Amino acid sequence: MVSVINTVDTSHEDMIHDAQMDYYGTRLATCSSDRSVKIFDVKNGGQILVADLRGHEGPVWQVGWAHPMYGNMVASCSYDRKVIIWKEENGTWDKMYEYTGHDSSVNSLCWAPHEFGLILTCGSSDGAISLLTHTGDGQWEVKKISNAHTIGCNAVSWAPAVLPGSLVDQPSGQKPNYIKRFVSGGCDNLVKLWKEEDGQWKEDQKLEAHSDWVRDVAWAPSIGLPTSTIASCSQDGRVFIWTCDDPAGNAWTHKLLHKFSDVVWHVSWSITGNILAVSGGDNKVSLWKENVDGQWVCISDVNKGQGAVSGITEGQQNEQ
Amino acid sequence: MKLKEINRTAIQAWSPAKQHPIYLAAGTSAQQLDATFSTNASLEIFELDLADSTLDMKSCGTFSSAHRYHKLIWGGHGNEDDGLTSGVLVAGGENGNIILYNPSKIIAGEEDVVIGQIDKHTGPVRALDFNPFQSNLVASGANESEIYIWDLNNFKTPMTPGSKSQPPEDISCVAWNRQVQHILASANPSGRAVVWDLRKNEPILKVSDHSNRMHCSGLAWHPDVATQMAVASEDDRMPVIQMWDLRFATSPLRVLENHTRGILAIAWSLADSELLLSCGKDNRILCWNPNTGEVVYELPTATQWCFDIQWCPRNPAVLSAAAFDGRISIYSLMGGNVDEQRQRQADSISSSFGNLDPFGTGQALPPLQLPQTTAQPSAVLPLKKPPKWVRRPVGATFAFGGKLVTFENMKPQHQQQAGPFQVLVSQVVTETELLSRSNQLQSTVHSGDFVAFCQLKVDNAQTDFERNMWGFLKVNFEKDSRHKYLELLGYQPEELAEKVAPDDSEQETETGFHTTDVDGLIKQALLTGNFEGAVDLCLHDNRMADAIILAIAGGQDLLAKTQKKYFAKSNSKITRLIDAVVTRDWPEIVQSCDLQNWKEALAALLTYARPDEFAALCDLLGSRLESEDDSSLQAQACLCYICAGNVEKLVACWDKAQGGSSPLALQDLIEKVVVLRKAIELRQGTNNNGVGDVLAEKMSQYANLLAAQGSLLAALSYLPIDTSQVKIMHLRDRLFRAQGEQALGQQSAPFPDQMQQVTRGRDGTPGPSFAPGQNQQQATTQQYYPQGEAPPPAGFIQQGFPNPSGQVLPQPSAAPAYSMYSQASTPYQPQQYPQGAGRPTLYQPHQPIAPPPPSSYPSSYLPSAPSHSTAPPYPAPSQASPPIPGPASPFPPSLSGASYQHGGPGAPASSSGYALPTGPTGTSLWPAGWSLARGPQNGWNDPPALSRMPKKKIVPGNYTPPAPITAPIMNPMADPQVQMQQQLPQASAHLPLQASFQQHPSQQVHHNPYQAIPQTGIQPTLQTPKHSSEEAPGAPTGDIMQPVQPLTTEKIAKKPIPEEHAVLKTTFEGLIQRCMTAAGDPQTKRKLDDANKRLESLYDKLRDQVLSPTIIGGLHSIARSIETHNYAEGLNIHTHIVSTSNFSEISAFMPVLKVVLTLANKLGV
Q: Are residues B272 and B142 in the same domain?
A: yes
pLDDT of residue B727: 77
Torsion of CA B1108, B1113, B1117, B1118, to 10 degrees: 10
| Contact between B738 and A127 using a beta-carbon 8 Å cutoff | no
Which residue from B379, B394, B701 is facing A103, i.e. has the nearest CB?
A: B379
Q: Is the pLDDT of residue B826 over 80?
A: no
Q: Is the pLDDT of residue B1049 over 90?
A: no
Selected residue with higher pLDDT from B141 and B600: B141
List of chain A residues whose C-beta atoms are within 8 Å of the C-beta of residue B317: 125, 151-152, 187
| Contact between B421 and A283 using a beta-carbon 8 Å cutoff | no
Residue B269 and residue B291: Cα distance in Å, rounded? Answer: 13
Q: Is the pLDDT of residue A52 over 90?
A: yes
The answer to whether residues B405 and A28 touch, using CB atoms and an 8 Å cutoff, is yes
Using CA atoms, how far residue B1064 sits from A69, B709, B1097, B1119, in Å, is: 69, 50, 13, 6
Of all helices (H) and strands (E), which one includes residue B427?
Answer: strand B422-428
pLDDT of residue B546: 76
Q: Is A318 touching B (CB cutoff 8 A)?
A: no
Give one DSSP letter per residue of B985-998, joined into a string: HHHHHHHHHHHHHH
Radius of gyration, alpha carbons of chain A: 19
Q: Is A167 touching B (CB cutoff 8 A)?
A: no
Q: Are residues B160 and B106 in the same domain?
A: no
Q: Is A294 touching B (CB cutoff 8 A)?
A: no
Q: Which of B96, B119, B142 is the last residue of a domain?
A: B119
| Contact between A13 and B421 using a beta-carbon 8 Å cutoff | yes
| Contact between A268 and B396 using a beta-carbon 8 Å cutoff | yes
| Contact between B428 and A139 using a beta-carbon 8 Å cutoff | no
pLDDT of residue B532: 77
Residue B1096 lies in a domain: yes
Q: Which of B281, B299, B317 is the last residue of a domain?
A: B299
Name the residue of chain A whose CA is nearest to B332's CA: A151
Average pLDDT over residues B907-911: 40
The answer to whether residues A2 and A308 touch, using CB atoms and an 8 Å cutoff, is yes
Give one DSSP letter per residue of B928-957, joined into a string: HHHHHHH-SPPPTTSPP-TT---HHHHGGG
Using CA atoms, how far residue B865 sits from A30, B215, B764, B894, in Å, is: 35, 84, 33, 23
Reduced to 3 states, what is the DSSP secondary structure of residue B758? Answer: coil
| Contact between B406 and A302 using a beta-carbon 8 Å cutoff | yes
Q: Is the pLDDT of residue B31 over 60?
A: yes
pLDDT of residue B348: 58
Radius of gyration, alpha carbons of chain B: 47
Question: B477-511: per-residue pLDDT in tens?
Answer: 777 666 677 677 766 655 544 544 444 344 433 34
Residue B318 and residue B310: Cα distance in Å, rounded? Answer: 9
Q: Is A23 touching B (CB cutoff 8 A)?
A: yes
Neighbours of B585 (CB within 10 A): 14
| Contact between A138 and B762 using a beta-carbon 8 Å cutoff | yes
Residue B783 and residue B756: Cα distance in Å, rounded? Answer: 16
Q: How many helices (H) and strands (E) does chain B have?
A: 42, 32
Question: B372-402: per-residue pLDDT in tens?
Answer: 444 444 556 677 788 888 888 889 999 998 8
Q: Are residues B26 and B130 in the same domain?
A: no
Which residue from B727, B738, B773 is facing A25, i.e. has the nearest CB?
A: B738
Neighbours of B1009 (CB within 10 A): 17
pLDDT of residue B338: 63
Mutate to test the interface with A, among B342, B406, B431, B737 (most CBs of A within 10 A): B406
Q: Is A69 touching B (CB cutoff 8 A)?
A: yes
Residue B485 and residue B475: Cα distance in Å, rounded? Answer: 7
Average pLDDT over residues B580-606: 70
Q: Is the pLDDT of residue B583 over 70?
A: no
| Contact between A97 and B429 using a beta-carbon 8 Å cutoff | no
For a pLDDT cut of 90, what percent of chain B falls above it? Answer: 9
Q: Is the pLDDT of residue B1019 over 50?
A: no
List of chain A residues whose C-beta atoms are within 8 Å of the C-beta of residue B432: 1
CA angle A86, A91, A92 (to 5 degrees): 45
Q: Is the pLDDT of residue B1095 over 50?
A: yes
Average pLDDT over residues B859-878: 39
Q: Are residues B126 and B115 in the same domain?
A: no
Q: Is the pLDDT of residue B630 over 80?
A: no
Q: Are residues B672 and B562 in the same domain?
A: yes
Mutate to test the interface with B, among A9, A15, A145 (most CBs of B within 10 A): A15
| Contact between A287 and B428 using a beta-carbon 8 Å cutoff | yes
Which residue from B315, B335, B423 is facing A28, i.e. has the nearest CB?
A: B423
What is the pairing mode between strands B228-233 and B216-221? antiparallel
The least confident of A83-87, B718-722, B1083-1087 is B718-722
Interface of A with B in 90-109 (CB under 8 A): 90-91, 96-97, 103-105, 107
pLDDT of residue B660: 60
Which ranges in B886-937 belong to alpha helices (H)?
Answer: 920-924, 928-934
pLDDT of residue B958: 47
Question: B243-299: per-residue pLDDT in tens?
Answer: 999 888 788 889 999 998 999 999 999 989 999 999 988 888 999 999 888 888 888
pLDDT of residue B759: 64
The least confident of A247-251, B649-653, B819-823, B920-924 is B920-924
Q: Is the pLDDT of residue B137 over 50?
A: yes
Q: From the CA of A319, how many Å to the nearest CA of chain B?
A: 23
| Contact between A125 and B422 using a beta-carbon 8 Å cutoff | no
Name the nearest CA neighbour of B86 among B99, B96, B75. B75
Average pLDDT over residues B778-800: 36
pLDDT of residue A176: 62
Q: Are residues B252 and B211 in the same domain?
A: yes
Q: From the CA of B723, how many Å to the nearest CA of chain A?
A: 12
pLDDT of residue B570: 65
Q: Is A200 touching B (CB cutoff 8 A)?
A: no
B353 burial level (CB within 10 Å; 0-12, 13-18, 19+): exposed
CATH of the domain at B591: 1.25.40.1030
Selected residue with higher pLDDT from B1104 and B1045: B1104
Q: Which of B664, B681, B698 is the last residue of a domain?
A: B681
Residue B767 lies in a domain: no
| Contact between A268 and B415 using a beta-carbon 8 Å cutoff | no
Domain count, chain B: 4
Q: Is A295 touching B (CB cutoff 8 A)?
A: no
Average pLDDT over residues A66-71: 91
Name the nearest CA neighbour of B986 among B952, B1016, B1027, B1026. B952
Q: Are residues B468 and B584 in the same domain?
A: yes
Summary mean pLDDT of chain B: 69
List of chain A residues whose C-beta atoms are within 8 Å of the C-beta of residue B401: 25, 271
Most confident of A224-228, B488-492, B914-918: A224-228
Name the residue of chain A whose CA is nearest to B730's CA: A69
Q: Are residues B599 and B467 in the same domain?
A: yes
Q: Are residues B137 and B107 in the same domain?
A: no
CA–chain centroid gap for B156, Å, is 66
pLDDT of residue A319: 39
Average pLDDT over residues B642-654: 77
CB contacts < 8 A, A to B, total 354
CATH of the domain at B2: 2.130.10.10
Domain A157-163+178-306 in CATH 2.130.10.10: yes
Which residue from B334, B430, B817 is facing A104, i.e. has the nearest CB?
A: B334
Name the nearest CA neighbour of B725 among B696, B749, B686, B750. B696
The answer to whether residues B262 and B281 touch, using CB atoms and an 8 Å cutoff, is yes
Mutate to test the interface with B, among A3, A21, A259 (most CBs of B within 10 A): A21
Interface of A with B in 227-286 (CB under 8 A): 236, 265-266, 268-272, 275, 277-281, 283-285
Question: B739-749: per-residue pLDDT in tens?
Answer: 875 544 444 44
Residue B1075 and residue B1091: Cα distance in Å, rounded? Answer: 11
Using CA atoms, how far residue B56 sits from B28, B591, B681, B979, in Å, is: 19, 77, 76, 94
List of chain A residues whose C-beta atoms are within 8 Å of the C-beta of residue B20: 211-212, 236
Q: Are residues B104 and B132 in the same domain?
A: no
The answer to whether residues B963 and B972 touch, using CB atoms and an 8 Å cutoff, is no
Tell me the residue range of the domain where B475 lies: 441-496+518-681
CA–chain centroid gap for B874, Å, is 41
| Contact between B336 and A59 using a beta-carbon 8 Å cutoff | no
Q: Are residues B80 and B189 in the same domain?
A: no
Is-above-0.95 flag for pTM? no
| Contact between B764 and A174 using a beta-carbon 8 Å cutoff | no
Q: Is the pLDDT of residue A119 over 80?
A: yes
ipTM: 0.92
Average pLDDT over residues B151-177: 85
List of chain B residues whose C-beta atoms are within 8 Å of the C-beta of residue A25: 399-401, 403, 738
Selected residue with higher pLDDT from A310 and B115: B115
List of chain A residues whose C-beta atoms are within 8 Å of the C-beta of residue B50: 149-151, 187-189
Q: Are residues B482 and B630 in the same domain?
A: yes
Residue B17 lies in a domain: yes
Q: From the CA of A196, how many Å to the nearest CA of chain B?
A: 14
Which residue from B422, B755, B767 is facing A9, i.e. has the nearest CB?
A: B422
A172 burial level (CB within 10 Å; 0-12, 13-18, 19+): middle
Most confident of A108-112, B362-366, B1124-1128: A108-112
| Contact between B386 and A79 using a beta-carbon 8 Å cutoff | yes
pLDDT of residue B838: 41
Question: B234-256: per-residue pLDDT in tens?
Answer: 888 888 999 999 888 788 889 99
Long-range contacts of A301-304 (CB under 8 A, 24+ apart): A302/A2, A302/A277, A302/B396, A302/B404, A302/B406, A302/B426, A304/A4, A304/B424
Reduced to 3 states, what is the DSSP secondary structure of residue B611? Answer: helix
Long-range contacts of B61-65 (CB under 8 A, 24+ apart): B61/B103, B61/B106, B61/B107, B61/B108, B61/B109, B62/B106, B63/B101, B63/B106, B63/B113, B64/B40, B65/B27, B65/B28, B65/B41
| Contact between A279 and B395 using a beta-carbon 8 Å cutoff | yes
The answer to whether residues A73 and A87 touch, using CB atoms and an 8 Å cutoff, is yes
Name the nearest CA neighbour of A108 among A223, A214, A235, A251. A214
What residues does each domain of chain A span? 157-163+178-306
| Contact between B423 and A30 using a beta-carbon 8 Å cutoff | yes
| Contact between A103 and B50 using a beta-carbon 8 Å cutoff | no
Residue B1138 and residue B1111: Cα distance in Å, rounded? Answer: 9
| Contact between B405 and A21 using a beta-carbon 8 Å cutoff | yes
Q: From the CA of B830, how many Å to the nearest CA of chain A?
A: 6
Name the residue of chain B whose CA is nearest to A171's CA: B827
List of chain A residues whose C-beta atoms are within 8 Å of the C-beta of residue B705: 272
